[in-house]
Amino acid sequence: MSLPSPFRNAAFAAVMPRLSVLIPFYRESPLDLLRALQSRDPSALEIILIDDGSAMADLTHAVSTFIAQSPLACELITLTVNEGRARGRNRLTTAARGDYYLFLDSDMLPDDTAFLDRWLAQADGHNAVVFGGFSLRQAPDTPAFAIHKLMAGHSDCLSAAERAEQPEKYVFTSNLLVRRDVFAAEAFDGAFTGWGWEDTEWGMRVAARYGVGHIDNTATHMGLDTPETLARKYEQSVANFARVIDRHPHVITQYPSYKVAKLLKKIPGLNVLRPLIKAVGLSSLAPLKLRAFSLRLYRAALYAQVV
């Protein structure tokens, strides 16, 4: 017998939540995150999940079995076709009942047991948008993911004070609190497809209109990528980067990724050099730091096509 969509557990109807925790997933299990989301006040929140077209019966069964037994109000929406990162998150908000949304990626893991308590304290009706931050505290030291861990530690794992220097730049849906009326006015742009930049572009819009706050309430990014996957994601993100340039030229031109791409555009024969730069990034013979630098340079070389 097929599972109804949405599928709601027994606790769902009895709760009028202040906070809706919104978790999209695609062919990756969110169960580790669900196990970590324990609260001393279950009546204050709900968890809404969306399976964005995984079409994996075992995964659906595992998630539905877990939430059926959860004391927290839970709902699972199962899509038959993948809608993508922006549209999937927009759809999650239409199911949410809370005054605040907490967007969490399914490969995140809270860094301590007070994680949800801190977010509930932020959901007081005053904060418009707040980002809690990344960490790598719980990420495994797996050789296959060493380059991504090195890169993320350098560019993503920043304190609230550091992020606040460019508040709109560090807005990621991996650990993001948004007030309901703010999202009603400014949803994610569904025209973004593939990977990358849809949350940053959204951050640029809301920062100008509402402001963006930053706190230290981190979760670990457990879903690190291999160099090959990183390169593929960078290739998918070029059109999205071009869309950000078109919509927010006064902001994006201040970013290092834009400035380096602009410089690379002036180099003769960049189309020939680009695959060579990628090859260094993917070479197991090259030093780790050189590979990380080469992958960042490869991303900028890709973006040089649209600056």
Short-list 126, 104, 107, CA closest to 217:
104
pLDDT at 1: 45
Condensed to tens digits (0 to 9), the pLDDT of residues 128-148 reads: 999 999 999 999 899 999 999
Spans in the chain with pLDDT lower than 70: 1-4, 40, 125
| Residue owning tokens 């939540």 | 17
- Determine the 3-state secondary structure of 68 from DSSP: helix
- Under a CB-based contact definition with an 8 Å cutoff, are residues 85 and 198 in contact? yes
For residue 256, what are the CA distances in angstroms to 52, 103, 194, 263, 300?
32, 27, 22, 11, 9
Q: Which of 3.40.50.460, 3.40.50.300, 3.90.550.10, 3.90.1170.50 would CATH assign to domain 7-224?
A: 3.90.550.10
Q: How far apart are CA 10 and CA 73, in angstroms?
A: 7
Condensed to tens digits (0 to 9), the pLDDT of residues 276-287 reads: 999 999 999 999
222 is written with which tokens? 């457990």
98 is written with which tokens? 């809370």
Instruction: Read off the pTM.
Output: 0.90
In terms of Cβ atoms closer than 10 Å to its own Cβ (0-12, 13-18, 19+), residue 81 is exposed
Give the start-to-end residue ranges of the domains of the chain: 7-224, 227-307
Question: CA geometry: angle at 30 spanning 79 and 179, to 5°?
Answer: 75
